[in-house]
Amino acid sequence: MKKILLIAGLVLLVACEVSVDDGGRDDGRTRVPTDPEELVVWDAVYDGEYKFPEGFYTEPQTTGTTVNYLGDNGDWNFYKLRHTDSREQARAWWHSMMEGNPDKPTLLGEDETDKHFEFVSITKYGHVTRWRFHKSSYFIATGNVFFHAIRPEWYQPYTIGIYGGELEQEAVKDIVELLWFFEPCGEIMSTEFNESAESFTYTITSAVLGYGDWGTHDQIRVVKNTVTLNKATRELRSTGCALLQTIQGKYHPNAFE
């Protein structure tokens, strides 16, 4: 599991990905798949470490360091994620959000890219946090990205946000992968990127582990999420969430077994 922490806004992560003891591949009631394709999915969710495909967007993993995008409630929350093109405004928001913080963070420095403003602080315990605000000119978030991956049957298309970056393949992949990286939903099994005259389309197929209660099995769902960027409107939308397959996972015996 990656060491970057997402403090309070990742309730969805708990729903989509649950840590499971991977000791033993068959406990008598667990049935390990014999189909090679299903076995690849099984191993992906139970190997104990989240992995990204080669070349996928990631952040450097540094012990004792957190990256946190700030929303109206002070954490990663797509519905209320703050954005600005003013460094002064971003700095003022940071100072306001740190007031009353029990960890008493001290500002170490500031940074700026074409995508965000960043404020680096250290707590009295020595923990470093890189606090970020998206630039409005890059991305304005309006909704969670892969919310329906755990319940595709509830899915309806919706707008994720407005993208202001470059209209070329690597840049568009970058914003979608950044959003997945900070709010992942399952182990990535495959990705597919397509471009037409009107839009870019990025599809991520993932294996989503639903943790079973005592006396029940886990359920592994293979889900295909599709994100589309309209070149004319710059609207980034979730345009598809399909359940491809369900695989029975590990069994969790109850106290009387």
Residue where one domain finishes, among candidates 134, 164, 197: 134
124: number of Cβ within 10 Å: 10
Q: Is residue 233 part of a domain?
A: yes
Same domain, 244 and 161: yes
Ramachandran assignment for 176, one of left (phi > 0), alpha (psi -120 to 50 degrees), beta (any other): alpha
Short-list 152, 224, 158, 155, CA closest to 192: 224
Tens of pLDDT, residues 44-94 = 999 887 788 999 999 887 778 888 888 765 555 555 688 999 999 999 999
Same domain, 213 and 183: yes
Residue-range definition of the domain harbouring residue 215: 26-57+151-252
Same domain, 246 and 156: yes
Say which DSSP state 226 is in.
E
Q: Is residue 235 part of a domain?
A: yes
Give 141's strand partners. Answer: 161
Q: For residue 111, with 0-12 CB atoms within 10 Å meaning exposed, 13-18 middle and 19 or more buried, which class applies?
A: exposed
pLDDT of residue 244: 93
Report, as an integer, the average pLDDT of 221-232: 95
Number of domains in the chain: 2
108-112, 179-183, 219-223, 243-247: the lowest-pLDDT one: 179-183
What tokens does 187 get?
């182990």
> Is residue 28 over pLDDT 60?
no
HSE on the CB side for 240, CA within 13 Å? 15
pLDDT of residue 220: 94
- pLDDT class for 252, splitting at 50, 70, 90? confident
Tens of pLDDT, residues 216-225 = 899 999 999 9
pLDDT of residue 149: 58
Same domain, 213 and 243: yes
